[in-house]
Structure 1
Amino acid sequence: MTQQYPDDKVLSPGTVIISAAAEVKNIRKIVSPVLAYIKGTYVYYIDFSFDAFKLGGSAFAQTLSKVGDEAPTVTDAEYFKNAFTAVQELVNRGLIIAGHDISAGGMITAMLEMCFANPQGGLEARLNKIRHTDLIKILFSENPGLIVQVKHHHLVEKVLSDYGVGFAIVARPIEDRKLIIEKDDFRQEFDIDALRDVWYRTSYLLDKQQSGEECAKARFENYKNQPLQFNINPSFTGKLSDLGLNPDRKERSGITAAIIRDKGTNGEREMAYSLYLAGFDVKDVHMTDLTSGRETLEDVQFAVFCGGFSNSDVLGSAKGWAGGFRYNEKAKTALENFYKREDTLSLGICNGCQLMMELGLVFPEMGESHPKMQHNDSHKFESGFVSVEIPENESVMFKSLSGSKLGIWVAHGEGRFELPGEASKYNIAKYVYDAYPANPNGSDYAAAAVCSADGRHLAMMPHLERAIFPWQNAYYPHKFRKHEVTPWMEAFVNAREWLKKR
């Protein structure tokens, strides 16, 4: 690709870009980049370059307004292959707890970034095992390599030695919130939280240009005060069998859930699988099926309006979708008849939540005063992984989850609940923190979901269908690593069990 200027022609890309793909045999065998504060574990440096430490082209050199003469490289392709294979064996054998590549900023930056996401503990790095005298090069060169936290370190060393890979034990987790660097007579302590603010400040300055000073400052001040929180009820085992689930089910259950979608929705596949796994017979219902009269919802017990951007949100979130029901007699009649029945449930997620609020389906007793969804306080699309808590409630889907605190994905631009009346009316699911960004939209009472008075009709902005497996979560507590599903799956099972009794 070229771009022609009056006196010049620019070629892009300026260097060769090589794309590659590889098979992932087991998506559960992941390595977190977050240091785990576990006593008796050690942090190792694994060299992938088989090259001397060099500062050319490094971020460190750039801070000095220099480029340097020598940049590190991979000097031996066979060695690199062996190093990669050795690490894969360590991963497959479950010996690596956490890991981080050495890239921009070098080893010291990798160590700090492993500490930043964990609000407790630090690292004591003793670098005498690395046989190089220049501490600056050790810490800041960007030779290809890894920093890994391991258990059973003697076994780890044997595996690496068998593959002929260079390694050194470099650090251990400590209780203090510090990064301590030691080598020979040198010793320096660094405040991890202070450096984390320095690290985050660039994002804050960019955020100011998008969100304005108020929201950007709130994000900058609150990010370290809003750690993810989890509280999983002791009765939840995480086993498919204990929830009565069979992922290989072929027979029909006789309980029908309908995925109702419009042009532009995009969450139907995840939702359909969640419902199938929970034991529903799932059918796909497009708005054209309803407006043409091909679908009446008469055989449907569970109507689910999924997330996405119906009609590209050009009229506002779910406004066009709602119009498809309001101004088409067949679709309107099918929906009204469905909600008149007492043997039905409904769920709206994200765009589907906006639809239910727009149509007044959650609090029909409020009539024209039914709340509608509003733009996020930040006035921009918010996407992230946050914690929500489930208070004591009478919702069909969430009652058994009362007392839980769980992680979940949000992705919306108009997710703010503007709710009249007392907070007690809306105690279904709420963001754990009141302040931005953990409350991503500024909802009243930090509400993440609302539910009808009879507990049957639930409207929720976060995506529980995108967090039913532990590996879908941005973070899931290590002690629950053997869970096959998360408690969000229980919500779908609760819906199935309620309908089974009707």
Structure 2
Amino acid sequence: PLSLVVTAFAPVTAARKTLTPQLRTDKGETDLLLIDLGRSQNRLGGSALAQVYNQLGNQAPDLDDPEDLKAFFAVIQGLNSEDKLLAYHDRSDGGLFATLAEMAFAGHTGLDIKLEMLAENADEALAALFSEELGAVIQVRQADTEFVLMQLAAAGLGECAQVIGRPEADDLLSFSLDGELLLQASRVDYLRRWSETSFRMQALRDNADCAQEEFDHLLDAKNPGLSPKVKFDLNEDLAAPYLKLSKRPKVAILREQGVNSHMETAAAFYRAGFDPIDVHMSDLLSGALSLANFRGLATCGGFSYGDVLGAGGGWAKSVLFHAQTRDAFAAFFEREDTFTLGICNGCQMLSQLKDLIPGADHWPRFVRNLSEQFEARVATVEIQKSKSILLAGMEGSRLPIAVSHGEGRAEFRDAEHLKITEQSGSVALRFVDNYGATTQSFPFNPNGSPAGITGLTSADGRATIMMPHPERVARTINNSWHPDSWGEQGPWQRLFANARKWVD
């Protein structure tokens, strides 16, 4: 069939105003409103419901009046700018039922949904729940409900907007019509059903045990989700005294072919009062730049040489097999006025240079994730008591952090090697679950590292390596989720500020 594909781009002028489907339970009494741009037609053609019954349907949803969509967009933008919206989710695959269920999954809440304004009988209720007409569900404070409805009416969408229910503190998702219960099950039950297809595919494609672990975690109805615990003052900016100085210490932001996290790393160091210098390995190999001119070295994340020869292997060998460059790195690591940070691919690379780094002989190597897949997730780590100068004062904090790697599992020679490493005090970071316990369970430990180990430091604390990406979440806005109480800078910016304080 003939089709038109339109690609468009638009600036996001207020990134902090982004709405998610997460239902909020910390904002007092709230209502859920359906904005139905299908204007109660509830056409089921081509819907997921029709597919389940091997049907195509007679009439598919359509945008009958473009002015409705234009007005809808404008009023939603206005309400959002006035902080009247707590959550938002479009109606799409699976219709209203799937939309509401997904919002409950994200918010860990129950639902009390009443369909009287959408249907007069069970057949109409079925269509209202599973039609995939254009529209959205929004969550608003009950104190704002009347105002929101008035704004929608003023935009010509009064007939499209209905209050359909509210979140509940229990774990039940309930749908009723005129007092008669049509559907009810626990959030966990619906979530397991919603996730089962993905689980089956994951079990066939990836490590089946990891897939089962992740699926089984859905049974925990009391799972608190991400639960950060910051053990230092987030509002204290250790780097503040250094930001106005005319001369900044130089840190080498080292990259190689395939490295892609150098910009975020440079930005984090700059905000901490450093002068970050873009250094490519070719600059060092040719002698155009020398590590002797730097106080800090950051080896960045990415996929150097496409992870041929193992993650970080090609990068490390470009140092080890070039005598002059090897000597330059060894001299830098020996200098007591320098620090080193290795992140992700840089961590893998530095672990293969451990013979050059004083006090790093106990570091493991990093191999393929236990899940047998590249893992890009948000995980929680607990900062351990160690000599790491970069993590000073952060001990005991449990912080969400970006994870993005395929070969991040720490592999020790044997159990004795692992024991010695733990006893040496060089373990800097461990993965923990949502209850704060050190874990090897997937996906809280996304790579399967023993004892949750995902960051280490050298004997004197000047060299620290870690598989997660602190530079990608150094600003609060860069986190996919964060507590409302966090300010401009996220807790991971403290790592870079610690480096600046130490250099002074």
Could you say whether these structures have the same fold, taking a TM-score greater than 0.5 normalized by the shorter chain as the test?
yes
Q: Distance in 1 between matches of 2:480 and 2:218?
A: 16
Deviation string 1:121-167 (CA, Å, 9 cap, x unpaired) is 21111222336541111111111000111122232222222212121
CA distance in 2 between counterparts of 1:471 and 1:207 reads 31
Look up the match of 1:325: 319
Contact kept? 1:385, 1:407, Cα under 8 Å? yes
Structure 2 Cα separation of the partners of residues 88 and 170 of structure 1: 22
Alignment partner of 1:414 is 2:391: no
1:178/1:43 CA distance change after superposition, 3 Å: same
Structure 2 counterpart SS, 1:28? helix
439-448 or 411-420, which deviates more: 411-420
Alpha-carbon distance in 2 for matches of 1:242, 1:332: 34
What percent of counterpart residues are identical?
Answer: 33
* Cα distance in structure 1, aligned partners of 2:241 and 2:371: 40
Q: Deviations over 1:461-493 (max 9, x none)?
A: 00111111223222212x32x521210011101
Residue-pair matches, total: 480
Mapped contact 1:98–1:150 kept (Cα < 8 A): yes
The 8 Å contact of residues 258 and 302 in structure 1, kept in 2 or not, is answered as yes
Q: 1:436 to 1:59 in 2, by over 3 A?
A: same
Out of 473, 497, 500, which is 1:496 matched to? Answer: 500
Aligned partner of residue 189 in structure 1, secondary structure: strand
* 2:165 pairs with 1:167: no
Q: Which residue of 2 aligns with 1:8?
A: none
Aligned letter for 1:123? L
Aligned pair partner of 2:231 in 230, 233, 252: 233
What is the alpha-carbon distance in structure 2 between the residues aligned to residue 139 and residue 262 of structure 1?
52
Match of 2:3 among 12, 15, 21: 15
- Indicate the SS of the match to 1:130: coil
CA distance in 1, matches of 2:465, 2:288: 26
Deviations for 1:419-471, whole angstroms, at most 9, x for unmatched residues?
42433434411111311111111112101201112121110000111111223
* Aligned pair partner of 1:212 in 207, 216, 222: 207
Question: What does the per-residue CA deviation read over 1:170-224, in whole Å, with 9 as the maximum and x for residues that have no partner?
Answer: 1111111011112214214221101100111111111122213222212222356
Q: 1:242 to 1:223 in 2, by over 3 A?
A: farther
Give the CA deviation at 1:299.
Answer: 1.9
CA contact (8 A) 1:56 1:72 kept: yes
Q: How far apart, in 2, do the equivalents of 1:245 and 1:116 lie?
A: 44
Give the gaps of 5 or more residues in structure 2: 434-438
Q: Does 1:202 align with 2:197?
A: yes
1:25 matched to 2:13? The reply is yes
Q: Which residue of 1 aligns with 2:115?
A: 127
Residue 405 (structure 1) aligned with residue 401 (structure 2): no
Question: 2: CA distance between counterparts of 1:205 and 1:310?
Answer: 33
Residue aligning to 2:482: 476
Q: Is the 8 A contact 1:362 1:450 kept in 2?
A: no
Alignment-derived partner of residue 42 in structure 2: 53
After superposition, give the CA deviation of every residue in 1:386-445 in whole Å (9 maximum; x if it has no partner).
111113333211122222111111111111112424334344111113111111111121
Paired residues of 2:330 and 2:357 also in contact (CA < 8 A): no
* Distance across 2 between alignment mates of 1:388 and 1:362: 28
Structure-1 separation of matches of 2:69 and 2:31:
23
How big is the shift at 1:326?
A: 0.8
**Which amino acid in structure 2 is aligned with residue 236 of structure 1?**
L
Residue 417 of structure 2 is aligned to residue 428 of structure 1: no
> Equivalent residue for 2:436?
none
Q: CA RMSD in A?
A: 2.2
- Once the two structures are TM-superposed, the CA of residue 112 in structure 1 deviates from its matched residue by 0.4
Q: Which residue of 2 aligns with 1:77?
A: 66
| Structure 2 counterpart of 1:153, from 145, 150, 153 | 145
